[in-house]
Chain A
Amino acid sequence: EAGVTQFPSHSVIEKGQTVTLRCDPISGHDNLYWYRRVMGKEIKFLLHFVKESKQDESGMPNNRFLAERTGGTYSTLKVQPAELEDSGVYFCASSPKGEKLFFGSGTQLSVL
């Protein structure tokens, strides 16, 4: 069974540009989460989807971040325009019922 997959694994962009991260959860998992780890700091919750609906987006930093999960399958997280402080590793996780989370390998985002 395929795990949570994220694309790209690395992205280097300039300040002001737009970047879109993609997450494919484990098939059949209704719950999908986005987390972010800024270097040396804790992994922080961004938001939680149940199927295509946003269950909790209290961790989204600001309105430059937009997450979607059309059709309740894969999800995208767009940052527009990117700022220097957006650099970090963005993790996606999925779960069938919300208890045990399965994480992807993450997208390392560098904003220069």
Chain B
Amino acid sequence: GQQLNQSPQSMFIQEGEDVSMNCTSSSIFNTWLWYKQDPGEGPVLLIALYKAGELTSNGRLTAQFGITRKDSFLNISASIPSDVGIYFCAGRNYGGSQGNLIFGKGTKLSVKP
């Protein structure tokens, strides 16, 4: 089946540093989504991307939909302790039923104050 390669698996950074993570796929997606999961909670949508080349910001978060439609990245600027959690990319491809998202394995972010 389709898979998303998400990297890095984990990151340990100092508060104030910028963070970058990305996802790649061998298949084309028509939607890319980035979610964050806090401990004991379900994933919460951070940013949704719908067009190739689209660059979208949400506060300190910026995400881009790759031109080839096979990749996406998420940047977090000036990290703070509450950024800690697991970040998942997810894609939805042409022909996939609404909501049938394919997820990456997640990037676990740790922020040292």
Q: Which residues of A line the B interface, CB within 8 A?
A: 4, 31, 33, 35, 40-45, 48, 55-56, 58-59, 91, 93, 95, 97-101, 103-106
Given the complex, which residues of B lie within 8 Å of A95, measured CB to CB?
98-99
Contact flag A45-B100 (CB < 8 Å), given A91-B43, A106-B42:
yes
Choose one: B40, B99, B100, B106; the contact of A42 (CB below 8 Å): B106
| Cβ-closest chain A residue relative to B4 | A42
Instruction: Type the 1/0 row for B78-113, where 1 means its CB is closer than 8 Å to any CB of A.
Output: 000000000010100000011111111110000000
- Asked if A99 contacts B98 (CB within 8 A), the reply is yes
DSSP class of B's interface residues: helix, strand, loop or mixed?
A: loop
Nearest CB of B to A108, in Å: 9
B45 interface hit (Cβ, 8 Å): yes
Q: Which residues of B line the A interface, CB within 8 A?
A: 3-4, 35, 40-45, 48, 88, 90, 97-106
Nearest CB of A to B104, in Å: 6
- Asked if A56 contacts B88 (CB within 8 A), the reply is no
Choose one: A4, A44, A55; the contact of B42 (CB below 8 Å): A4
Given the complex, which residues of B lie within 8 Å of A98, measured CB to CB?
97-99
Choose one: B97, B99, B105, B106; the contact of A101 (CB below 8 Å): B99
Nearest CB of B to A5, in Å: 10
Contact flag A31-B102 (CB < 8 Å), given A43-B88, A91-B42, A105-B40:
no
Given the complex, which residues of A lie within 8 Å of B42, measured CB to CB?
4, 91, 93, 103-106
Can you add 10 more A-B contacts, CB < 8 Å, to A33-B99, A59-B100? A31-B99, A42-B88, A43-B43, A43-B101, A45-B102, A95-B98, A95-B99, A100-B45, A105-B42, A106-B42
> In whole angstroms, how far apart are the Cα atoms of A31 and B101 in the complex?
14
Choose one: B40, B48, B106; the contact of A100 (CB below 8 Å): B48
| Cβ-closest chain A residue relative to B97 | A56
- Asked if B45 contacts A43 (CB within 8 A), the reply is no
> In whole angstroms, how far apart are the Cα atoms of A37 and B42 in the complex?
11
Contact flag A101-B104 (CB < 8 Å), given A4-B42, A43-B43, A93-B42:
no
Contact flag A103-B105 (CB < 8 Å), given A31-B99, A33-B99:
no
